Structure 1
Amino acid sequence: MKRLFAVLAVLVVLAIAAVLGGYAYWQQRLAAPIVVEEPTLYQVPAGAGFHQVVRDLASQGVLKDVWAYQLLARIDPEQVPQLRVGEYRLMPGMSGLDVIALLGSNNVVTYSLTVPEGWTFRQMRTLLDTAPKLEHRTTGMSDEAIMTLLGREGAHPEGWFFPDTYRYHLGMSDVDILRQSLQRMERILEEVWAERDEDLTIESPYEALIMASLIERETGAPEERREIAGVFKRRMERGMRLQTDPTVIYGMGERYEGRITRADLREATPYNTYVIDGMPPTPIAMPGRASLEAAVNPQPGETLYFVSRGDGTHHFSRTLREHNNAVNRYIRNR
């Protein structure tokens, strides 16, 4: 009997040792470095499950011992996160457990695109259509259909998208970028309108958006924005037409080839402020925050005219005679 107990004790010890050894080996395999020699991108596709991804990584030679990860899912499922669609950067020295944790994190590889201030919605759409790794859902759609998709049915898209740098990752679409941009413009316009001067000529946030687009297209010099806004305000108060070239260009559309003729200035389009009274019916570009702030806080003064100096700045005049002299100096002589 004693001999039997001794044999059983030895067997129990051996079994425990085998279990502990097996557990240690299993943990060792999970902690073993993955097989990559340089940073490597791995994509988790939509709908992929844990076992599918493990097998895929093994087929690519990144992971070994698939059984270790299958066992992990059975014994300790809490260590198996919900995988997220996207691209991930696998680094040399990472363990298999590190990879599993990474694929369930927010640390996806991101890309960026920049929408410059003063761009039109058409230019923004071209940028989105060519952005890599972005799902192109709006390609071929009309502007009206896009605005309906964004929940702004009937709204003209021009001006409603805030120019900025936007980051995205695989799995996102152009609709996601457009929605972010639209919501940002709406939020900033609301903030700016709340800080407006009391004696404005414009009467609504949308008119401020239109005015800001004119300012944005007229100058890239930050120090001039409020003065240009002041000129526009005073001209409107006196019943003078705005006579701003960017509106003529916008009204010409794709016909514009780099120069404006006298015939273009006389052409009756809804946007030609040499012909129409007041502002155009919609914005003509996407204004930045500085132009929005200038539109609702125009600089006081007496100037009614301005002309480009050719270096990105303008000469401002109080009288038509002074303005004509400036035109002769900066435009006709050049």
Structure 2
Amino acid sequence: MKVRGIAVWRVLIVVVVLGMVAVGTWVGYDWHRFGGAPLSIAAQGQSIDVARGASFKDIVRQLRQRDVSDASPLYWRLLSFQMHVSGRLHAGEFALVPGMTPRDLLSNMATGKVMQRNVTIVDGWTFADMRRMLATVDTIAHDTAGLDDDAVMKLVGAEGEQPEGRFLPETYAYVKGDTESGIFKRAYAAMTKTLDSAWEKRAPDLPLATSYEALIMASIVEKETGRADERPRIAGVFMRRLRLHMMLQTDPTVIYGMGAAYEGNVRKRDLTTDTPYNTYTRFGLPPTPIALPGRAAIEAALHPVDGTELYFVARGDGSHVFSSTLDEHNRAVACFQLKRCQ
């Protein structure tokens, strides 16, 4: 009986040991599987925001609360030790991308590969449009809120300059927590670089004295047409009018000068009401740009098409009819604006 009892205990010990080995093997396999298995991320655009001073436990808890991972915190801790990143994870916003593994996420956190976001300034927007847009982006720190335009220009290092036209329409990458002033500084620097480069390579004998006048012209071209093929041609019309000391007579400048009074239509009395921007009552360029011109409009303004055309009128489909004489122009106006084609 004693021998039989010892045998039973030996069997039990073997079973327990084998069970422990099996469990250990399964846990080891499961842990290795965990490191390379995709997290539960169903769609693009998700992220995890790691606050400064957050603990490793806080990070894992956030992942579990968001149903990104239901793995044991121990698995995450062991993986961080294996990757030698324990205690080296950065604060910031990190992208959660479909197909991403725990190993990928910890690697991004350890190297500080924070999530890149984009904000787009649209060609032809005004500076006011740009400010309104940035104020709505909740992932940007609004450090210019409450500042007037002069204060913003001082903040970007351009004290005393008028802001209109000074910022390049472009898509700018940023990370969560970046400031509005940072975006303004980058857009200002990008416009300065773009304009200076374009001015150096400008066509000869333009009736423009400075690069700032080129910026003003580019803003008018930007607002007159959205068609790439027409920009140099429209610029050519305005250059010839400047050379001949003709008024530019362009509605977008009138509209800009009207400000909040503009209600969607330019009336005859608007064309005869004098403002510094009314090119129907004043010769030459307006005092400042009227919008933020894009690269294409700047290039068009500095490389206008040669020719004899002095007028153009909108067809109503986004394109324009160009004319060299006033009689031709009047016929085009009658046809496309008054619908009295002959």
TM-score, with structure 1 as normaliser = 0.81
Instruction: Tell me whether 277-286 or 318-327 shows the greater mean CA deviation.
Output: 318-327
- Counterpart of 2:94 (choices 72, 87, 91) is 87
1:112 to 93, 98, 118: 118
1:237 is displaced (CA, Å) by 1.2
CA contact (8 A) 1:86 1:171 kept: no
Work out whether residues 309 and 330 of structure 1, in 8 Å CA contact, stay in contact via their aligned partners in 2: yes
1:106 Cα deviation from its structure 2 partner: 5.0
Once the two structures are TM-superposed, the CA of residue 240 in structure 1 deviates from its matched residue by 1.0
Alignment of 1:196-215 (within 5 A): 196-215=202-221
Q: 1:36 to 1:98 in 2, by over 3 A?
A: closer
For residues 157-183 of structure 1, give each alpha carbon's deviation from its aligned partner in whole angstroms, at most 9, with x where no partner exists: 111111122333322232232222222
C-alpha distance in structure 2 between counterparts of 1:247 and 1:213, whole Å: 9
Counterpart of 1:183 (choices 183, 189, 212) is 189
**Alignment correspondent of 2:53:** 48
CA distance in 2 between partners of 1:59 and 1:307 (Å) = 62
Q: Are 2:52 and 2:91, in contact at CA under 8 Å, matched by a contact in 1? A: no
1:84-233 → structure 2 map (5 Å cutoff): 84-89=91-96, 94-95=101-102, 97-105=103-111, 107-233=113-239
Amino acid at match of 2:40: E
**Paired amino acid for 2:230:** E
Aligned match of 2:323: 317
Which one is further off, 138-147 or 109-118? 109-118
| Distance (Å, rounded) in 2 between the aligned partners of 1:316 and 1:98 | 58
C-alpha RMSD of the superposition: 3.3
SS of 1:222's partner is coil
Question: Which residue number corresponds to residue 13 of structure 1?
Answer: none
Give, in whole Å, the separation in 1 of the partners of 2:318 and 2:100: 53
Q: State which of 233, 244, 250 in structure 2 corresponds to 1:244.
A: 250
Change (3 A) 1:87 1:76: closer
Per-residue CA deviations over 1:87-146 (Å, capped at 9, x if unaligned) read 331667733x54322213354333333322111111122211222422222233211111
Q: Number of paired residues? A: 314
The one of 248, 253, 258 aligned to 2:259: 253
Q: C-alpha separation between the residues in 2 aligned to 1:303 and 1:235?
A: 9
Alpha-carbon separation, structure 1, partners of 2:82 and 2:105: 18
| C-alpha contact 1:30 1:69 (8 A) present in aligned 2 | no
SS of 2:318's equivalent in the other structure is coil
State which drifts further: 183-192 or 280-289: 183-192
CA distance in 2, matches of 1:27, 1:148: 60
- AA in 2 matched with 1:105: T
Q: TM-score normalised to the size of structure 2?
A: 0.79
Q: Any stretches of 5+ residues in structure 2 without a counterpart?
A: 1-23
Confirm or deny: 8 A CA contact 1:136 1:173 kept in the other structure: yes
Pair 200,66 (structure 1): closer, same or farther in 2 beyond 3 Å = same
Q: 1:93 to 1:332 in 2, by over 3 A?
A: closer
Conservation of the 8 A alpha-carbon contact between 2:85 and 2:106: no
